[in-house]
């Protein structure tokens, strides 16, 4: 296996440290980076913008099919645009975060997104983060990692990522648990661990320590 064909799949719930670790791994290895959560978030942003009902699966699927996504897979400065609007920052708003589970649970939306993700992965040379990368999007990825962390740690990370103070942590924890529940129990591609994924509990590890574990996994498969 050559590094230029490598696919590193990083899955896990929100607040497990996925984004920091996936970007850092891509930088460390000189690979491209794909944040599949940002793809679901951008479709969600467009649905809110256009007033498409979050319970209207057919309309959401049609929206996803017609939308033109443009992704810059640079781990140092990833960007995403939908139908010509750069939404890199807008997709992180609370409004989008609150609505994205509903949109990402629609089977038709997932079919469209998974096909685009496979196109973007192409011949490889990429670190891909999400919820179903090792199970559905790239089940043949030679390196699969599933990150976990205890709920309190995840809530703390998420609140600080969103620029909120300590008083927001309890609310964030409740919201995280609710979203995990929705992501894990949906019928289409739920958040699950691939049986062959290496599980890393990041609760008491720094991002650099987790990256070192993944780089070690990569060294075992790359010649």
Nearer CB in complex with ligand DC: 36/153: 36
Non-local CB neighbours of 71 within 8 Å, separated by 6+ positions: 34, 38, 39, 78, 79, 80, 81, 120
Provide, rounded to whole angstroms, the least separation between the CB of residue 115 and ligand DC.
13
Pick between residue 24 and residue 130 the one whose CB is nearest to ligand DC: 130
CB-nearer residue toward ligand DC: 107 or 122: 107
CB of 143 to ligand DC, least distance (A): 17
Q: Measuring CA to CA, how many Å separate 114 from each of 136, 172, 185, 223? A: 8, 28, 19, 29
Beta bridge partners of 7: 126
How many CB atoms within 10 Å of residue 28? 16
- Tokens of residue 186, six digits: 């949906």
Cβ proximity to ligand DC: between 199 and 219 the closer is 199
| Closest distance to ligand DC from the beta carbon of 192 (Å) | 11
19 Cβ contact list (under 8 Å, min separation 6) = 35, 37, 129
Q: Give the orientation angle of helix 94-104 with respect to helix 169-185, to 10 degrees.
A: 20
Min dist. Cβ of residue 210 to ligand DC (A) = 16
* Residues making contact with ligand DC (CB under 6 A): 14, 36-37, 40-41, 100-101, 104, 130-132, 179, 183
C-beta of 186: minimal distance to ligand DC in Å? 8
State which residue, 40 or 146, has the beta carbon closest to ligand DC.
Answer: 40
């Amino acid at each position: 296996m050559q590094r230029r064909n490598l696919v590193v799949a990083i899955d896990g719930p929100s607040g497990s440290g996925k984004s920091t670790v996936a970007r850092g791994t891509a930088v460390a290895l000189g690979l491209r980076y794909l944040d599949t959560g940002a793809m679901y978030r951008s479709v969600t942003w467009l649905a809110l913008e256009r007033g498409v009902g979050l319970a209207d699966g057919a309309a959401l699927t049609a929206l996803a099919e017609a939308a033109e996504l443009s992704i810059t897979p640079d781990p140092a400065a990833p960007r995403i645009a939908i139908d010509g609007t750069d939404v890199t920052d807008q997709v992180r708003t609370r409004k989008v975060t609150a609505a994205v589970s509903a949109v990402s649970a629609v089977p038709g939306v997932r079919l469209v997104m998974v096909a685009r993700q496979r196109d973007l992965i192409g011949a490889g040379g990429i670190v891909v983060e999400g919820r179903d990368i090792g199970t559905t999007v790239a089940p043949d990825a030679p390196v699969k990692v599933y990150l976990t962390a205890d709920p309190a740690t995840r809530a703390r990370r998420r609140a600080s990522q969103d620029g909120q103070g300590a008083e927001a942590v309890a609310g964030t924890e409740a919201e995280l648990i609710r979203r995990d529940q929705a992501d894990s129990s949906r019928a289409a591609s739920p958040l699950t661990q691939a049986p062959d994924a290496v599980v890393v509990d990041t609760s008491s590890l720094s991002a650099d320590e987790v990256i070192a574990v993944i780089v070690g996994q990569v060294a075992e498969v790359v010649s």
